[in-house]
């Protein structure tokens, strides 16, 4: 045990000799339900989602909210992209940030930081103040701060309140559930979290172990996409596998390649199938493209992680953040 006290920006625990970043478990794990007698029943305008456009976990929830047509049912606020000693903060009323709803907290005008929300529920809260946070306006409490579970609630529990066309959006179809779960296992550990484990490592060994595993799993995703019978991970319908992989791949070239040293290859010149897949989602599916805010993404990582980038200089490239559908980098152009 170390007697050094960890602060919010210590990504590897002080005294941990492995140099490995270990992500904490989320603390609030309640579920919204269709059942009107449940503790958190699905209702219009009862729940509010706090996100950061920068954060890949929160990004999942924004994508699913739109895919399922929940825009009028669940409101949201994005925090400012800059995270400092007190964690995420809300934008102030004089700040103009790109992206819908990057505003002060509309529900608690005196809250300056996301942590205020957590402390209002539990003044002794000792966990991390993470996005996404799903808030219940009736009970004034946090329903969940675990994106993997929030998206699953959105898949089904509001189905009685939405149009048939959105009810028919099935992101976790029974016939694919075991394959999706199996894919989640390695995309979560090696890819979604793998970029963080590479970038936050404080020893050469921890970095190399994680970055090599990350690229092996990207190779696997590339091979799977080559075999897919349609434009999406499992054929011609979007599923959870697309949502979960997208939020890392869209950040890969603009941020992870240089900031987290994930540079064995990049997506645009090294992974033709992933590149085609991610561009199709970004340019052709509004739930993906319209929830992607590169200014938040680039600003957040490069200016918040001072151990990695002490001067907070944001690299200009790559230009552009994402290529158009038919464009290719020189190395790939035929
Ligand atoms: N398991 C959580 C992870 C969420 C998470 O780690 N979010 C990051 C932003 S990308 C965060 O808010 N970090 C703040 C902190 O750890 O202090 C989920 O998937 O919802």
Q: What is the pLDDT at residue 2?
A: 40
Asked whether the CA dihedral 122, 123, 128, 129 is positive or negative, the reply is: positive
Which of 253, 46, 235 has its CA nearest to residue 134?
A: 46
Strands 87-88 and 83-84: antiparallel
For ligand 1, whether the C-beta of 55 sits within 6 Å is yes
Residue nearest to atom 9 of ligand 1 (CA): 55
Q: Are 221 and 244 within 8 A, CB to CB?
A: no
Q: Which string of DSSP letters, residue by residue, matches 53-111?
A: TT-HHHHHHHHHHHHTT-TTTSEEEEPPS-EETTEEBPPPTT---SSTT-SS-SS-TT-
Cα 235 to averaged position of ligand 1 atoms, centre (Å): 30
Cα 4 to averaged position of ligand 1 atoms, centre (Å): 23
* Shortest-distance atom of ligand 1 to CA 147: 20
Distance from chain centroid for Cα 315: 21
Share of the chain above pLDDT 90, in %: 90
- Widest pairwise Cα distance in the chain: 61
pLDDT tier for residue 23 given thresholds of 50, 70 and 90 = confident
Per the annotation, does 147 bind a ligand? yes
For the ranges 10-24, 114-128, 180-194, 232-246, the lowest mean pLDDT is seen at: 10-24
Q: For residue 252, what is the DSSP state?
A: I
Q: Are 81 and 296 within 8 A, CB to CB?
A: yes
- Average pLDDT of the residues in 79-90: 97
For ligand 1, whether the C-beta of 131 sits within 6 Å is yes
pLDDT tier for residue 129 given thresholds of 50, 70 and 90 = very high
pLDDT tier for residue 307 given thresholds of 50, 70 and 90 = very high
Residue nearest to atom 12 of ligand 1 (CA): 130
Alpha-carbon gap, residue 107 to 75, rounded angstroms = 11
Task: Tell me the per-residue pLDDT of 255-291, one tens digit each, with 9 for 90 and over.
Answer: 999 999 999 999 999 999 999 999 999 999 999 999 9
Secondary structure (3-state) at 164: helix
Mean pLDDT score of the chain: 95
Ligand 1, residues 131, 248, 296: which to mutate, most atoms within 8 A of Cβ? 131
pLDDT tier for residue 312 given thresholds of 50, 70 and 90 = very high
* Of residues 2 and 332, more confidently modeled: 332
Q: Please give the helix or strand (H or E) that residue 133 lies within, else none.
A: strand 133-136
* Shortest-distance atom of ligand 1 to CA 56: 10
pLDDT tier for residue 51 given thresholds of 50, 70 and 90 = very high
Question: How far lies 285's CA from each of 51, 159, 238, 246, in Å?
Answer: 20, 21, 10, 12
Question: How far lies 88's CA from each of 8, 79, 115, 151, 304, in Å?
Answer: 11, 6, 7, 21, 10
Q: How many Cβ atoms from other residues are within 10 Å of residue 269's Cβ?
A: 14
Q: What is the pLDDT at residue 24?
A: 76
Q: What is the pLDDT at residue 84?
A: 95
Residue that the structure tokens 């603390």 belong to: 27
Check if 55 is active-site: yes
Residue nearest to atom 6 of ligand 1 (CA): 130
Say whether the peptide bond before residue 318 is cis (omega within 30 degrees of 0): yes
Strands 133-136 and 47-51: antiparallel
* Active-site choice (47, 50, 55, 282): 55
Query: Which domains does the chain show, CATH number per domain?
Result: 47-167 (3.40.30.10), 174-287 (1.20.1050.10)
Strand partners, 83: 88
Secondary structure (3-state) at 143: strand
- Average pLDDT of the residues in 58-83: 98
* Shortest-distance atom of ligand 1 to CA 54: 10
* Shortest-distance atom of ligand 1 to CA 8: 17
- Is residue 5 predicted with pLDDT exceeding 60? no
Secondary structure (3-state) at 281: helix
Secondary structure (3-state) at 47: strand
Torsion of CA 88, 93, 95, 101, to 10 degrees: 70
Q: What is the pLDDT at residue 1?
A: 36
Residue nearest to atom 19 of ligand 1 (CA): 147
Cα 57 to averaged position of ligand 1 atoms, centre (Å): 7
């Amino acid at each position: 045990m170390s007697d050094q006290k960890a602060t919010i920006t210590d990504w590897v625990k002080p005294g941990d000799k492995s140099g490995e970043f270990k992500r904490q478990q989320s603390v609030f794990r309640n579920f919204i339900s269709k059942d009107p007698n449940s503790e958190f029943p699905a209702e219009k305008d009862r729940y509010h989602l706090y996100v950061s456009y920068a954060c890949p976990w929160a990004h999942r929830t924004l994508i699913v909210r739109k895919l399922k047509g929940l825009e009028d049912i669940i409101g949201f606020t994005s925090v400012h992209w800059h995270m400092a000693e007190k964690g995420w903060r809300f934008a102030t009323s004089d700040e103009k940030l790109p992206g819908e709803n990057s505003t002060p907290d509309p529900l608690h005008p005196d809250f300056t930081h996301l942590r205020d929300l957590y402390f209002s529920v539990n003044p002794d809260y000792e966990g991390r103040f993470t996005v996404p946070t799903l808030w219940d306006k009736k009970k004034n409490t946090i329903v969940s701060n675990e994106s993997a579970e929030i998206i699953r609630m959105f898949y089904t529990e509001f189905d009685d309140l939405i149009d048939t066309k959105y009810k028919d959006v099935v992101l976790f179809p029974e016939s694919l559930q075991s394959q999706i779960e199996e894919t989640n296992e390695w995309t979560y550990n090696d890819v979604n979290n793998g970029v963080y484990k590479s970038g936050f490592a404080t020893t050469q060994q921890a970095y190399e172990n994680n970055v090599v595993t990350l690229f092996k799993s990207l190779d696997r995703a590339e091979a799977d996409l080559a075999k897919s019978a349609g434009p999406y991970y499992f054929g011609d319908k979007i599923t959870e596998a697309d949502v979960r992989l997208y939020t890392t791949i869209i950040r890969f070239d603009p941020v992870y390649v240089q900031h987290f040293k994930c540079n064995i290859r990049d997506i645009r010149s090294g992974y033709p199938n992933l590149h085609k897949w991610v561009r199709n989602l970004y340019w052709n599916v509004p739930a993906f493209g319209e929830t992607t805010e590169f200014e938040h993404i680039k600003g957040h990582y490069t200016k918040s992680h001072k151990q990695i980038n002490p001067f907070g200089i944001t690299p200009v490239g790559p230009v552009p953040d994402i290529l158009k559908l038919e464009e290719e980098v020189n190395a790939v152009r035929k």
